[in-house]
Amino acid sequence: MCHIPVMVEESLRLFKDQHLSLFVDATVGGGGFAYELLRAHPEIETYFGIDCDEHALALARERCAQWVDKIEWIHGNFCDIDRYLMERGLDKIDGFFFDLGVSSMQLDQPERGFSFLKEGPLDMRMDQRLRWTARDIVNQWSEKELGRLFREYGEAPHWRVVARAIVEARAHKQIETTTELARIIEGGAKRRYGKRYRPAKKLALIFQALRICVNRELESIREVIGKALKLLAPGKRLAILSFHGLEDRIVKQIFRAAAGLSSPLPPRCFPKLRLLSKKPLVPTLKEQKRNKRSRSAKLRAAERL
């Protein structure tokens, strides 16, 4: 079981001509990008590898063992990035990299509860120290709250039907597993839409919404980008890899505001940036064929002025 890093070559090119002494990998995952960047930039003195998933950090440590003297591993939420660096007396960083969302290795672990394709507990916590799980949300939230969640975080067109089906099912017994929830969603949707219902795509939207909510992903992204931009040294770069429209929309809005371009956000909230490309970079067709999970990836990068 291994996380396959996405758009590694494109990400490395963004930092190719940069001198990197202090670098922050805010979502180090299994260490795929860390391995390649450390190999390409021997001048790196300290590499901060942050992840809220303890299992991912263990894999990253193993993968990057040859740089043990350069890497500082941090088990925690990237939202606390300013505190981590302040505790170490640092206020200027030479580069940031974010690989957002769930990783392939998390999806492939049934016991984590991220996938509707595998039997497992309704958990979905990236950090096992979190209190709330997907099971709590599914069994305790009202029909109205569930509907709003599926509409806003999953952008699911059948959010009303799913919320109703869940509430009706849990009236008889608590919903405990991923496959149990998937059957309930499928049953309710098929009664409403019949043969027009495409289960895999629609189930993915509902599971996405639950995962985002459990881990407070969108709120965390908004918060951490602002912090990272303030910590980024002038002339240095930040790159963000996202995997669905809600994530990319936040990154796009913040970057455009900081670059003085049209955005719903006020530009005065952020340090000034220069965008490194007008549109996000996307995986090559070759990579998309090799790794299907890369198809939705978008890579945006900017340089602080």
Q: By mean pLDDT, which of 10-19, 20-29, 109-118, 121-130 is the weakest? A: 109-118
Q: What is the pLDDT averaged over residues 219-234?
A: 97
Domains, in order of start, for the chain: 8-105+217-304 (3.40.50.150), 131-214 (1.10.150.170)
Q: What is the 3-state secondary structure (H, E, C) of 261-273?
A: CCCCCCHHHCCCE
pLDDT at residue 192 in the model: 67
Q: What's the token pair of residue 214?
A: 């459990």
DSSP per-residue letters across the chain: -----SSHHHHHHHTTT---SEEEETT-TTSHHHHHHHHH-TT--EEEEEES-HHHHHHHHHHTGGGTTTEEEEES-GGGHHHHHHHTT---EEEEEEE-S--HHHHT-GGG---TTS--BS---SSTT-S--HHHHHHHS-HHHHHHHHHHTS--TTHHHHHHHHHHHHTTS---BHHHHHHHHHHHHHHHHGGG--HHHHHHHHHHHHHHHHTTHHHHHHHHHHHHHHHEEEEEEEEEEE-SHHHHHHHHHHHHHHTTSS-SS-GGGS--EEES-SS-B---HHHHHH-GGGTT-EEEEEEE-
Q: How confident is the model over 251-274, as a mean pLDDT?
A: 94
pLDDT tens, 116-156?
Answer: 988 999 999 999 999 999 999 999 999 999 999 999 999 98
In the predicted model, what is the mean pLDDT of residues 162-168?
Answer: 95
Q: What is the pLDDT of residues 41-96, one digit of tens each?
A: 999 999 999 999 999 999 999 999 999 999 999 999 999 999 999 999 999 999 99
Per-residue pLDDT tens over the stretch 81-111: 999 999 999 999 999 999 998 877 787 888 9
Q: Which amino acid is at 65?
A: A
